[in-house]
Amino acid sequence: MEPKKPFELVVREHGPTVLRVCRAVLGAHDAEDGWSETFLSALKAYPGLPVGANVQAWLVTIAHRKAIDIVRAKDRQPVPVDELPVRPSGFGIPGDGHREVLDAVGQLPPKQRQAVAYHYLAGLPYKDVAGLLGGTPDAARRAGTDGVKALRTILAGGSLSYVKGETP
């Protein structure tokens, strides 16, 4: 079995994926706090992680819990809204559509947002996503596919309520 690597390699290998997940789940503004708390907590616990464990799934689990902590802490204090309530300006502006997708993900209900992040961005199977979100793997899969469907509708200029009505 492969011996445990220096944590530096864990940061290099998984840092970008965890940042993507944090951006999707927390929004651009809190993503870096989520990332920092995830890796600091992971570093402390790393010697106890069993050799051969799935490091990426372990990190996503920690990121999931840290994101919940951050959202709860924010709910307790009156802070300005995270996501700008201004609608993305739609297609046609110069750029790569970066902001649009980030904003669109921010409009998803939490479960869909998490399912999309953990399954599509971090590559976790729906069985593991269900382990994080609670519920069955099928429910996790539905949240993921509904989330993607909703994203497409938002990006095409539709409204979220329309998508929700459409979801069986």
Contacting positions for another protein (CB under 8 A): 3-8, 11, 15-16, 19-20, 23-24, 32, 35-36, 39-40, 43-44, 46-47, 96-98, 100-102, 116, 120-121, 145, 148-149, 151-152, 155-156
To another protein, the closest distance from the beta carbon of 47 in angstroms equals 6
H or E element in which residue 106 lies? helix 98-106
To another protein, the closest distance from the beta carbon of 78 in angstroms equals 27
| Nearer to another protein (CB atom), residue 78 or residue 94 | 94
Per-residue CA distances from 67 to 5, 32, 34, 92, 142 (Å):
26, 11, 6, 33, 22
Please state, in angstroms and rounded to a whole number, the distance separating the CA atoms of residues 4 and 36. Answer: 21
To another protein, the closest distance from the beta carbon of 93 in angstroms equals 14
| Nearer to another protein (CB atom), residue 87 or residue 152 | 152
Q: Side chain identity at 105, as an amino acid letter?
A: V
Please state, in angstroms and rounded to a whole number, the distance separating the CA atoms of residues 107 and 146. Answer: 13
